[in-house]
Amino acid sequence: MSDKIIIFDTTLRDGEQCPGASMNLREKMEVARQLARLNVDVIEAGFPVISDGDFRAVNQIATEVRGPIIAGLARCVPGDIDAAAAAVKPAGDRARVHVFLATSKIHLEHKLRKAQEEIIRLAVEGVRRARALVRDVEFSPEDGSRTVPEFLAEITRAVIEAGATTVNIPDTVGYAVPDQFGELIRYLFDHVPNIHDAVVSVHCHNDLGLAVANSLAAVRAGARQVEGTINGIGERAGNAALEEVVMALRTRPEVFGHVTTDVNTREIVKSSRLISRMSGLLVPRSKAIVGENAFAHSSGIHQDGILKKRETYEIMDPHEVGWGETELPLTKHSGRHAMVKRLEHLGYTLNQEETEHVFRRFKEVGDRKKFVYDDDLAALIEDSSLGAPETYELEYFHVTSGTTTVPTATVRLRHNTLAPADGKDTPTETMQDSAPGNGAVDAAMKAIDRILGHQGHLAEYHVQAVTGGKDALGEVTLKVDFGDGKLITGKGASTDVIEASARAYLHAVSRVLVTGAAAVASKPTDTP
């Protein structure tokens, strides 16, 4: 049995299914490039059949990202499989189609309403169709952890015989516990004659907080691929956090049979922060490995021990996962070239137009604070709405507020319209209005609503200092419902929290108007 654990990242597919975490094409490309630098083995780039946007994203990732296998998800439906194969085709020999079909009793009786024999036939046909289009085919029996073991073994044998190169056992609803899940994997190794003709994978959800524990139990039982997401993001309570799986295997090799991964662990923190910003999902301070407090020690006893010998209270070297690798900050005197180099170090690739846009914002921030740190630059990238033109830009705002006055905001927006056919300068229109509100931030957003003639409902609002100091850049992340029940994420950054809030709100508006985020088809709920 191989001692290599294949790391399958589904941040861009299962992770993005988390409400409010939808990413545009530019954001998905940045995440995919960073996952390649992290050196994961497989990137599940999306579910190509569900929308034109998902197809384009998977196809572009397959075209531009080098290194990892690029996978597209598909139900055992001919149209799904053909779309997935077409989307990943540019990856060549690194193309994978991942097909799935539910197998548990509750799914067969209440969702599919099919007999076991019919499920096996559909699974085999789906695998064969995919195998005719690509050489690398993965099959997942959805809700595998609640499937009758004898039937799970039977369908596993059948799909391997049909050509599946990987068989993934999902704990789709996070029902399993480690001992039981490990025993299920052992059962398959004992009862599927051709099990060694394919890689056995696991895909665990965190509904009981056991996704990582279940994944590790499966590794001990013989699984050689682990699926999950960075920061553990995903539907409901999320997926197995890959950074936790990787570092558990690395830190306790004697427990897991001295298996290895090819992950570049020094890219873990950078990956975590990038994906947090791109998805709009904040990382809890106490999160293992990547949380701000993961290597913080406040107890005097702990501090004394750390000073004498780090290993007394730290089981991992923080530098191994990428902490403490920020270089010297930039200042307002730094040039365009220096800024671009730092952005490249952080994993961002900008074209000339985007560089100019971010450089203007960099100079604005540089005039307000002494140093511009790496985290400041990353926040400015998000604040700049790269990947889609800014339909509305904040040109001016003024607020009055206090304990004895009604908070009121005046906002002026610049509306960028499409360039004319003659190629002349893009025409702009300025619009201004005022509104009272329940506080300065609320007033600014209501003024924007008056200008735009529609109203968004603010469902979530978070503000945090990007770096330390009195002149810290404030980063606002919010989620807005524009009337269709979908949460659209907006992000903005400024040394002024009210300005950052207005920018974040406009970012959400731009995502709806330009990328059609509110109209994107909902992802099917029947996924591994």
pLDDT attached to residue 528: 81
Q: pLDDT for 139-175, tens place per residue?
A: 999 999 999 999 999 999 999 999 999 999 999 999 9
Domain 6-279: top CATH class: alpha beta
pLDDT attached to residue 315: 80
8 Å CB contact between 179 and 217? yes
What secondary structure does DSSP assign to 408-454, as a single string?
EEEEEEEEEPPPPTT--PPPEEEEEEEEE-SSHHHHHHHHHHHHHT-
CATH for 392-519 is 3.30.160.270
Q: In this predicted model, which residue has the larger pLDDT, 21 or 58?
A: 58
CA 39 to chain CA centroid, Å, is 16
pLDDT attached to residue 35: 98
State how beta strands 428-436 and 199-204 pair. unpaired
Q: Phi and psi at residue 232, in whole multiples of 5°?
A: 70, 20
Q: Which of 149, 155, 290 is nearest to 231 (CA)?
A: 290
Using left for φ > 0, alpha for ψ between -120 and 50, and beta otherwise, residue 222 falls in left
Q: pLDDT for 265-285, tens place per residue?
A: 999 999 999 899 888 888 998
d(CA 82, CA 516): 25
State how beta strands 457-465 and 474-481 pair. antiparallel
Using left for φ > 0, alpha for ψ between -120 and 50, and beta otherwise, residue 518 falls in alpha
Q: In this predicted model, which residue has the larger pLDDT, 50 or 514?
A: 50
Quote the DSSP letter at residue 97.
E
Interacting residues of 60 by C-beta distance below 8 A, sequence separation 6+: 25, 29
d(CA 357, CA 212): 41
Does the pLDDT at position 224 exceed 70?
Answer: yes
Q: Radius of gyration over alpha carbons of the chain, in Å?
A: 25
8 Å CB contact between 235 and 10? no
8 Å CB contact between 108 and 117? no
pLDDT attached to residue 19: 73
pLDDT attached to residue 249: 98
Element at 69 (helix H, strand E): strand 69-75
If you average pLDDT over residues 375-380, what whole number do you get?
A: 79
Q: Which of 15, 6, 39, 12 is nearest to 25 (CA)?
A: 12
Total residue length of the chain: 528
Q: Which of 212, 148, 224, 141 is nearest to 174 (CA)?
A: 212
Does the pLDDT at position 302 exceed 80?
Answer: no
Q: What are the boundaries of each domain within the chain?
A: 6-279, 294-325, 336-383, 392-519
Q: pLDDT for 95-107, tens place per residue?
A: 999 999 999 999 9
pLDDT attached to residue 521: 40
8 Å CB contact between 282 and 276? yes
pLDDT attached to residue 517: 43
pLDDT attached to residue 334: 87
If you average pLDDT over residues 72-83, what whole number do you get?
A: 97
pLDDT attached to residue 519: 40
Element at 7 (helix H, strand E): strand 6-9
pLDDT attached to residue 24: 85
Average pLDDT of the residues of the chain: 88
pLDDT band at 421 (very low <50, low <70, confident <90, very high): very low
Q: In this predicted model, which residue has the larger pLDDT, 511 or 190?
A: 190
